[in-house]
């Protein structure tokens, strides 16, 4: 059974010796730990999960997204953005309502043969000022919306094999808050956890990261691409 945020927090506190057995910590400590857990998750995007997003200006009424692009939709007409083609694990893209016009002129995000937010149907953004960033999880073929876990029982959208590392990674962050030394076994597991996320969602070939937006297009066609297989 997948761990929930409250389980990750409880296990992290057990690793630090501030909770006797895995369970729900006191309300104030749970709130603080949720803040730390969400901050940790946000910091993973663009580091161990995919590339950092680069602002791109969309034009016309339709566009093909590329990995690493965050598209500002100008408004004035309905727009269709197609998700990146043949995405690898950790691919990312985003949508911004640059014209604050989605209520009058919605933006349709086509998942391009995959799912987005768990549905194979196109996602329609129809409220002005809304947008989103998505990362690709290949084992379920889904573009997952990036965002904070809003409650201790919010499902965590990673495979169980990676969720298992989160208590160790969080313990390393919470240690200063609780004034606790981190056991070396926890440090080692936290480091391995970051490496596991990077292997799944960031690294391409030996010790290489996915190229940032536009880098591949700038390379001569006759040269092999870094990490190409």
Q: Among 88, 95, 9, 84, which Cα is nearest to 49's?
A: 88
Instruction: Name the one residue in this structure whose structure tokens are 């290489």.
Output: 208
- Supply φ then ψ for residue 80, to 5 degrees: -120, 125
Domains and CATH numbers, the chain: 5-45+148-201 (no CATH), 54-145 (2.60.120.640)
In the sheet that holds 92-96, the strands lie side by side as: 54-57, 69-72, 92-96, 132-137, 142-145, 115-116
pLDDT tens-place string over residues 190-221: 999 999 999 999 855 433 444 444 333 334 44
The yes-or-no verdict on residue 228 having pLDDT over 90 is no
Taking only the tens place, the pLDDT of each residue in 30-41 is 999 999 999 999
**Across the strands, what pairs with 143?**
116, 136
Does pLDDT of 114 surpass 80? yes
pLDDT of residue 21: 78
Determine how β-strand 62-64 pairs with β-strand 79-82: parallel
Q: What is the pLDDT of residue 213?
A: 41
Q: C-alpha angle 117/144/207, rounded to 5°?
A: 160
Q: 130-185, pLDDT tens digit by residue?
A: 999 999 999 999 999 999 999 999 999 999 999 999 999 999 999 988 888 889 99
Please tell me the pTM assigned to this model: 0.85
Tokens found for residue 92 = 């990312």
Whole-angstrom distance, CA of residue 212 vs CA of residue 192: 24
């Amino acid at each position: 059974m997948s761990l929930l945020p409250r389980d990750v927090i409880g296990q992290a506190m057990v690793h630090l010796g501030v909770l006797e057995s895995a369970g729900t910590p006191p309300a104030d400590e749970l709130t603080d730990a949720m803040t730390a857990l969400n901050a940790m998750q946000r910091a993973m995007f663009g580091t161990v999960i995919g590339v950092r997003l680069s602002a791109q200006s969309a034009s016309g009424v339709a566009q093909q997204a590329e990995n690493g692009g965050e598209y500002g939709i100008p408004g004035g007409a309905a727009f269709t953005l197609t998700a990146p083609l043949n995405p690898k694990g950790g691919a990312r893209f985003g949508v911004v309502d640059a014209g604050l016009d989605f209520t009058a002129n919605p933006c349709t995000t086509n998942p391009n043969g995959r799912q987005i937010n768990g549905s194979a149907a196109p996602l329609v953004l129809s409220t002005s000022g809304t947008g989103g960033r998505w990362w690709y999880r290949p084992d379920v073929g889904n573009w997952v919306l990036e965002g904070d876990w809003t409650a201790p029982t919010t499902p965590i959208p990673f495979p169980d094999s990676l969720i298992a590392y989160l208590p160790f990674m969080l313990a390393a962050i919470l240690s200063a808050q609780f004034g606790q030394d981190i056991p070396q076994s926890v440090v080692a597991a936290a480091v391995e956890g970051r490496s596991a996320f990077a292997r799944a969602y960031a690294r391409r070939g030996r010790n290489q990261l996915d190229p940032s937006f536009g880098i591949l297009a700038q390379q001569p066609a006759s040269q092999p691409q870094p990490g190409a297989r």
